Structure formats: structure tokens, C-alpha cells
Structure 1
Amino acid sequence: MKQNFTMKQGAIDGVEAFLSVARHRSFRKAAAELGITPSAMSQAVRALEARMGVVLFVRTTRSVGLTQAGEQFLSRARPAFEELVAAGAAVRELGQRPVGLLRLAVPRAVVPLILQPVILSFCKAYPGIEVEIAASEERVDLAAGGFDAGIRMGQFIDADMIVVRLSQPFPFVVVGSPDYLRTRTRPKLVDDLRGHACLRLRRPNGSVVPWSFLDGNRTIEAVVSGPLVAHDYPTLIEAAVEGLGLAQVPGPPVKAHISEGRLQAVLTRFATTTPGLFLYYPSKRQILPKLRAFIDHHAKSRRR
């Protein structure tokens, strides 16, 4: 076997060599432990002593002992080095299997769309992963915020991100409760909304979102008014269920409300369609096992 004549890559400026000699009280045994020559071991320790300006070992032809400075350095360097080794092992574990903290930046409106049906089963399937969902309508910098990934509707994701589809395209629908629609004329055209109480969404930048429709190939933006402006879709949906007015919301979270009769859809032939929901993360970042596990688990859940 070819012998190494230099310190192993990863040795920290002679500290690993010092600790090994201190443990064995022998340069030869320490060199054998680290897989280097006794000469390289001695050079590493001398370089450390020169850098510190103090002798750490008392060397004789028959023994090796620690000086007072060596004893003091050993008492503090050993636990620090062991902690550093443990930190390296923990980082390697993150790169080898799905463990650790998975931080996702998710708009509040997306939580009921995609995460609630999956998150419980994911946590049970991967007990070594702790999931943190930062629910906010703000567009965050994933790297600066320490997030592994984000989830958004496709039209709101920057072009330099890697994206993974989480849902099929879905429509935005206008819904109202049966009680509300009994008291008003059901709208058949977009212009009919002028006589209705419309529940609206405010963007993070402060602007109120206009209602969008599609008439053939023509896009229509309707400026509507009503008694409530909210910052998330779940609030609008709940207000619509309670009969406060009409709301234009993503189709998936109101599907059950419509099928069970709590809400009715109107103006369906003018509904616009969003590209769907996507998970995204920076293109230059290596995907860690914990994020890959989430993507794969969601894909399996959709196939069931």
C-alpha cells in the first residue's frame, strides 16, 4: 500500500495531530492512527507549536509528555475538536439520508391547496424530518431566509428557479352561498357583478386584486367592490360560505364546498385557469435528501 507523506486533508492546522500524540503519548502510534509518517506527524506538531509560540510536548528518546501549556491546550482543544467532528458528521448525514429541518416558504392561500392533504402523511413517513411552514404572502429570498424551497402558483415564480409541478392547472371560480344567491339575481355576464357584494384580495404590495375573466381569447379585468378585503383566500372562502358575498378563488379549496352544497359557482364559462402549483428552489443548490423525500412523497400521494 502506498504510504502517505502529508497530513490527511481535513486535519485542522495540526490540532488533530496534537490530539492524537497526546492520546497515545507517542508520535509513532499517532502517525499510524492517522495513516501518515512519523516525520509528517512531527512536522505538523512543530508547525502548530511555532504558530502558537509555545512548546506543547516534552520529548525524550523514550517518552513523550505534555508541558503545562500542552495540558491547558488539550483541555480546551479536545472538546472543541470533538464538537467539530460531530458537526461534520451531522452535515454528512443531511446529505446522505432524509433528516433535519425542512423549511418551506408558502403563501397562506397555498396551504389548503397542497400541504394539508400531504403534510400529515409525510411527517409520519419521515419522522427524522421536522417540517416548518412559513406562511406568508410576501415573496421571499429563499437563500437569505434560510429556506429549502418555496411553493407558489407557476406564474409568480422567477425564471432562474428549478421548478417541480405539484398540481395540474386549475380554474379560478366565482362562488357564493345558496342563501346569498337567493337574495340577488344570479350573474350571467361579467358586467352583472356591478350589482353584487364582491369579496376581494389584497396583494402584499397593498393593491387590491382585480377579478380576471376570459371571454374567448379576450382577457377581462373587472374592478369590483364589496364589504370585505382580505389578505388570503381561506378568509374569503369562509366569508362566502357565511353569505357575505361572492368571491373569486382557486377551484381546489372550494371543490368540497360546491359538491356539498355550501357554495355555488357562477360565471363558470368565463373562468380563467392558472398553470398550477409548483415547488421551486435555486438552480445552483444541490437538492438534499429531505427535500427529495418531500417531492417524491407528494408524487406518490397524487398517484393514489
Structure 2
Amino acid sequence: MRSGLTELDAIVSVARHRSFRTAATSLGLSTSALSHAVAALEARIGVRLFHRTTRSVTLTAAGEQFVQEIAPALATIRGAIEQAGDQRDTPRGVLRINTSLGAAQQVMQPLVFEYLRRYPEMQVDIVTEGRLIDIVLEGFDAGIRLAEMVPQDMIAVPLGPSQRLVVVGSPAYFAEHGVPRTPVDLLQRPCIRSRMPGGAVWRWEFERRGETQQIDVKGPLTLDDGALMLQAARNGVGLAYLSEWNVAPDLAAGTLRCVLEDWTPAFDGLCLYYPGRRHVPAGLRAMIELIREQRTAAGRPPRRARK
């Protein structure tokens, strides 16, 4: 492994991930090569930058100061390299995107596959997780989330149509438990509870003509994955509150039915978002242009990005 910027990138990556293994993966290196590079730099400057144990990696006081000093400079240098590379006819490199699993499933076919077809010299690295992270701090070029979840300091590019959550159950479930007519009726029926990434159980939210209700539903099963909730609903375990996109095939096939539809209005859909205070890499610009092209082709005007 050569010295110079690569070693500094290694230090910043280990500091960010608090793990040599994860940092090595993000940089495309072996763990041993990364560890050797960090140790070599520490030996050269004569200061230990990390406390290492078999279970954790943390920065020393000197390491904290070192990373704070070099991280902005590295970002500036990478930006200059990216701007120089923008002179190429075709984008080349890696586009790192953070998103939720459900959002990734929605954008793979219409967006990501087409992007890779058009730009064969680009790679797309997608990390899915439920929690909302700081994409700048974690080293991502962009994120994809529902519009309401996008941080206010980010530029947001509308990605798809509006979305809607729906309450669904199987025909067998309704035959046994009846059909709820209002959100309050859910308190008397078994539901599939949803655990949020932070650990709290989500209260189902409803709105109709300005009236809002939050219902802390009860039921025999609590899950943190939409696919598992869908499976449980199909089997009559309880009612589930899921994205209409996820349940559309079941609704069409009749294996699930919607209820309380007048209490579940549509809301703004997915957005791709990125920081506006830094240079936009050519690969990300190409993704943004593809999004706008697809929105125009679908008859959805390319709304201005939120700044």
C-alpha cells in the first residue's frame, strides 16, 4: 500500500467506522493491509492514533485532533480530483448511497439498473439501514429517503410519485374479526406492531379532513421488517400498516384487502438528497439528470430541488 493520501484516507475511515474490518471493506483493502498502513503512519509520526482492543477501536486524544485537522483537507483534495475527472466524457468511479431497504427495493429496477447500463464505468455502492444517518460524516455521496425525512440542510431531488400507507388484512382475518370502520376500532382487533430503528414501537398515524389520530395498536406479533409484516398479514396474524407499493401485488391478487382508506392520505414520496456545500461529483450529477429525465417521461414535471 503506497504512502500519502491513501494512508490518510485509511486513518479517517477507521476513525469513522470504529472498525478496521469495516474501514478496509469501504476502501477495498484487506484488513491486514489497512492495519499495516495505520501502524506505519503512527510509527512515522511517532504518535499512537488509536486505542485498539479485541472488541473496539477508539481514537486517542492525539488521534482526535489529527483527524479533525486532516479530514477537511482530504475532502478538499478529493473534490479537486473529482472536478478534474469531470472533464471525462463518461463518469467513472463509485457512487455511495445510503437508504432504507424499502426505498432501495423501489428504485433498483427503474433507476439503479438503468444508471449502470448507461454508465458502465460507474459502480453503485448501496447501504441499507432503517436509521437516518449523517451521510457526510459516514462518507456517502447521497441518500434516498422519504421527503419528510430529508434533513433541512440537504438539497433534495424528488425521485418518484407520492406514496401512501394502507391498513391491510387477509380475507380470512376479516371473516373472523370483522372490518374496522374507524382507527379507534383497531384497538379491539389484533394488529402486527411495527418496531422503529431506534427501538420504539410505532403508533399508527391517521388523518382525515384535518383530524389526526395516533393509535397504539395491540397484537400478538411485533416486527421490524416490512417483508415479515407482509408475510404475517397474508397468514391472518393481524392487520398490517404498510406501504401501498409493497402490498400492490397482494391487493391485485385478492390475498389482502385495504381498510380505512379514507384515513390514509398520500404524502410526498422518495427524494435523492445530497449536501449542497461541496462539489457534486460527475457520477452523482449523472444520477440526478437520469431522475429528472425519468420524471419527465412519466409525466411528472421535474420539480425544483429543495435547497
Q: Quickly name the TM-score band, shorter chain normalised.
A: 0.5 to 0.7
Could you say which residue in structure 2 is the equivalent of 1:266? 259
* Identity among equivalent pairs (%): 32
Could you say which residue in structure 1 is the equivalent of 2:32? none
Aligned with 1:278 (options 246, 271, 294):
271
Aligned with 1:146 (options 116, 136, 139):
139
Q: Aligned ranges for residues 50-199 of structure 1 at < 5 Å? A: 92-93=84-85, 96=88, 97-199=90-192
Contact 1:174 1:267 in 2 (8 A): yes
Q: Which has the larger radius of gyration?
A: 1
Deviations 1:223-269 (A, max 9, x none): 10112222232332232223322111122222222122222110001
2:255 aligned with 1:250: no
Deviations 1:49-89 (A, max 9, x none): xxxxxxxxxxxxxxxxxxxxxxxxxxxxxxxxxxxxxxx97
Structure-2 change in CA distance of 1:171 and 1:89 (3 Å): closer
Distance 2:293 2:246 in 1: 21
How many pairs does the alignment contain?
217
Could you say which residue in structure 2 is the equivalent of 1:241? 234
Structure-2 change in CA distance of 1:295 and 1:89 (3 Å): closer
Secondary structure of the structure 1 residue equivalent to 2:145: strand
| 1:91 Cα deviation from its structure 2 partner | 7.0
Could you say which residue in structure 2 is the equivalent of 1:287? 280
Could you say which residue in structure 2 is the equivalent of 1:229? 222
Distance 2:120 2:177 in 1: 51
Instruction: State the one-letter code of the partner of 2:285.
Output: R
Structure-2 change in CA distance of 1:125 and 1:195 (3 Å): same
Where structure 2 has 5 or more consecutive residues not aligned to the other structure, the ranges are 1-79, 299-307
Secondary structure of the structure 1 residue equivalent to 2:164: strand
Secondary structure of the structure 2 residue equivalent to 1:133: strand
Instruction: State the one-letter code of the partner of 2:215.
Output: A
Instruction: State the one-letter code of the partner of 1:112.
Output: Q
For the aligned residue pairs, the C-alpha RMSD in angstroms reads 2.1
Q: What's the TM-score once normalised by structure 2's chain length?
A: 0.65
Contact 2:158 2:270 in 1 (8 A): yes
Where structure 1 has 5 or more consecutive residues not aligned to the other structure, the ranges are 1-87
